[in-house]
Structure 1
Amino acid sequence: MADVILSINAGSSSVKFGLHHAGRTGWPSMMASGQIKSSEDGIRLVARDAEGGTALDETVAGADPDAAYERILAWAEDLARPGRLAAVGHRVVHGGTAFTRPARLTAEAVAAIEALTPLAPLHQPLGLKPVRAVAGLRPDLRQTASFDTAFHSTIAPEAARYALPRRLETEGIRKYGFHGLSYDYIAHRLEERWPGTAATRTVVAHLGAGVSLCALEKGQSVDTTMGFSVLDGAVMATRCGSLDPGVILYLLEAKGFTPEAIEHLLYYRSGLLGVSELSGDIRELFKADTPQAREAVALFVRRVAREVAVMATSLGGLDRLVFTGGIGENQPGIRDAVCRRLAWLGLAVDPDRNSAAVERIDTPDSRVEILVIRTDEEIVIARDAARLLAG
């Protein structure tokens, strides 16, 4: 019986993959997880098994992504044993209003996803590359898509609408929200870990190269900080976050920027990189300790804290704050600084627990639970694929 799913998660800063046994109930079980990395010699493929041992460590010569995906597929087929690789599941950032749940990737579905590229010009092509590669390499292997925007389809119309003429909303200009696979995993993890607490007013802060926050009520999204695009909300590695639209008009009219130049500025040259004039990697900014680097970190903290307060407003209060994502999971200094700015809401971090990166890091007298939970988007992709195949 074919019951193994290969998940591919192509993001803006990395490509991750995972191999999972599709269980009949609950989460699939992880067999191995890995990452595609660029190296001087070509494309390096690194994966570890469920026990942390090396499952794959090879370099594919050259820069041909199809060669890398061919090797990953062969590795997955070998590890799964002949005939047991059931499907490849993919993360797709934008599903628009058409894809509000996972979908099988037929030719028609792929065309519809590609048509959404203007809504996510940076991410949509990245998500479709492995889809096309797998289709060319294994045309008979089933493929599925899990959409980041789908989790936020529960947001009420008044929270998803911009104060623009309604005809523009009918043309697709509205809040969509992103990082949905991460929030999906966290929502289910919270219910598993603390059953019966779904009504707890929870804000999840997904802090990585991309940054967004989500207000959860009964495990569903009621608001989020990213909107029409992944440029909105908090400061990110190379993206500016929320910006006065007048700045765009000024750059166009007074500074002679072309739309292409503005796109490059907002996606690749702003955020931590733009303010620090050094790097979009917060680890590098901590090491540099220049005035510009310190200001970039301070701006990042201020904006994240502000967005927590905005999400708490949508919930009518705050009972639980969850940190996840590469920065949220691995930078205790950022967690502490964000919570200090939110002390007026009753947040208090235990420094010893925070530095130890245990699951719960608040003090006994904190009025808000503060958690650190490692997200797992690949297992959500595998779960969605298994459900689609079973249905």
Structure 2
Amino acid sequence: MKNILIINSGSSSLKFQLIEMPSEKVLASGLVERIGQASGKIHYKSEAFSTSEEMEIKDHSVALKEVTKHLMHNDHGVIHDPADIPAIGHRVVHGGASFSDTVVIDEKVKQKIEQLFSLAPLHNPPNLKGIQVAEEIFPHATQVAVFDTAFHQTIPTCASKYAIPNELFEKKKIQMYGFHGTSHKYVSEKANEYLQKDHSKIITVHLGNGCSMTAVKDGKSIDHTLGFGPVNGLIMGTRSGDIDQSVIFYLIEQLGYTAKEVSDLLHHKSGMLGLTGYSDLRDIEDQAEKGNKECQLALEMNAYRIKKYIGAYAAAMNGLDAVVFTAGIGENSDVIRKLVCTDMDYLGLSLDEEKNSVRSKEMRNIGKEESKVKILVIPTNEELEIAKQTISFV
């Protein structure tokens, strides 16, 4: 048995799981949030112990050191020494054209991840920081990078290439790369197990603060809503999703925005936040229920965009066996699922509202018995998928 530590480092958070492989037993898990703020919080859970502590978490180094203290605690720890962790798997959002598979991290890999900062400004910088901190605290562990973009390497050129001059594709590698690949891979494999079909046509819908959808045919990604960077496609917490390029030119040429200000607007100030003033869907649903028209419209817009892509991907695959909802919103928001699945009988989706309203952490089918297309809710487990890929390097 090998203990694999999984680190998912965000701009102000650090998620972790310590997984015993190949048994897949989670020894400890948790989250450090509000890193860099005075009111930081550490959530830690193991089989015999759990705690939530408030303290100032100055940076990611402090965060991982606090996690390590719990992992090795005399009373409730699950390991005795940093050497008990032979490998650490890191989620890295953008691998560009450089990485089509999981890799052991060295200086060249870190340099490449840094070169891709501009393509994933919200994600790659903290991803690299998490790697650097882990190297400091666990110097003897093999550090492994698992890229969100890797699962989408199977997307055919007719779908991944943009209609811009060929030299930008050939020399500058400007194309669709896709994201959330670890999640889409995990839940599509679970859906295939459920369907028990040799050939399947599945649409996976990953809805969190960041959102994306993937058309998965026979286990392979063939199209995806995110592209060169993680800002297009669906409406997200603070990201705009699809937008007419002319709007960008208008903002710069007519309204005096700089390119940096437009990037900040589309990444940080748009999406559900721009539409409602809230980025957390729970707040938006609560306000919508109280009659807030902006929040009601934002929910309709959000669901409408998802429905459009379901139709597009059903066409791209020439059929549809299942739609899978996953991630924080996909797994927990019966409101969004209902809005998406309403009036979709032409495509074979028939939602059972009673099943849809039940909260569960288990995989489940929320469609009616007669629904031609299965409507599945599958909790994602990116950490386990990263652990499976990391263990192969130990």
TM-score, normalised via structure 2 length: 0.92
Q: CA RMSD of the aligned region, Å?
A: 1.9
Matches within 5 A, 1:17-32: 17-23=16-22, 28-32=24-28
The 3-state SS of whatever aligns with 1:349 is coil
The 3-state SS of whatever aligns with 2:121 is coil
**Corresponding position of 1:177:** 178
Matched, 1:348 2:350: yes
1:6–1:76: 8 Å Cα contact kept in structure 2? no
1:213–1:311: 8 Å Cα contact kept in structure 2? no
Paired AA for residue 370 in structure 1: I
**Corresponding position of 2:369:** 364
CA deviations over 1:15-61 (Å, ceiling 9, x no partner): 311010111xxx732222211122875432212235xx644433443
Matched, 1:265 2:271: no
Give the C-alpha shift of residue 236 in structure 1. Answer: 0.6
1:198–1:217: 8 Å Cα contact kept in structure 2? no
Matched, 1:46 2:51: no
The 3-state SS of whatever aligns with 1:63 is coil
Give me the whole-angstrom Cα distance separating, in 2, the residues matched to 1:70 and 1:264: 32
**Corresponding position of 2:32:** 36
Give me the whole-angstrom Cα distance separating, in 2, the residues matched to 1:141 and 1:218: 36
**Corresponding position of 1:310:** 312
Which region of structure 1 is more displaced relative to structure 2, 98-107 or 61-70?
61-70
2:192–2:200: 8 Å Cα contact kept in structure 1? no
Give me the whole-angstrom Cα distance separating, in 2, the residues matched to 1:176 and 1:67: 33
Q: Which of residues 51, 67, 74 in structure 2 aligns to 1:72?
A: 67
Give the C-alpha shift of residue 79 in structure 1. Answer: 1.2
**Corresponding position of 1:109:** 109
Give me the whole-angstrom Cα distance separating, in 1, the residues matched to 2:111 and 2:256: 35
Give the C-alpha shift of residue 333 in structure 1. Answer: 1.4
Paired AA for residue 342 in structure 2: R
> Kindly, what percent of the aligned residue pairs are identical?
35
Give the C-alpha shift of residue 194 in structure 1. Answer: 4.0
Paired AA for residue 34 in structure 2: S
The 3-state SS of whatever aligns with 1:279 is coil
Paired AA for residue 42 in structure 2: L
Give me the whole-angstrom Cα distance separating, in 1, the residues matched to 2:320 and 2:194: 19
**Corresponding position of 2:329:** 327
Structure 1 stretches lacking a partner, 5+ long: none
Matched, 1:6 2:11: no
Matches within 5 A, 1:1-391: 3-11=2-10, 14-23=13-22, 28-38=24-34, 42-49=39-46, 54-77=49-72, 78-82=77-81, 83-170=83-170, 171-195=172-196, 197-276=197-276, 278-289=277-288, 290-357=292-359, 359-389=364-394
2:28–2:44: 8 Å Cα contact kept in structure 1? yes
Give me the whole-angstrom Cα distance separating, in 1, the residues matched to 2:13 and 2:348: 36
1:203–1:322: 8 Å Cα contact kept in structure 2? yes
TM-score, normalised via structure 1 length: 0.92
Give the C-alpha shift of residue 14 in structure 1. Answer: 4.6
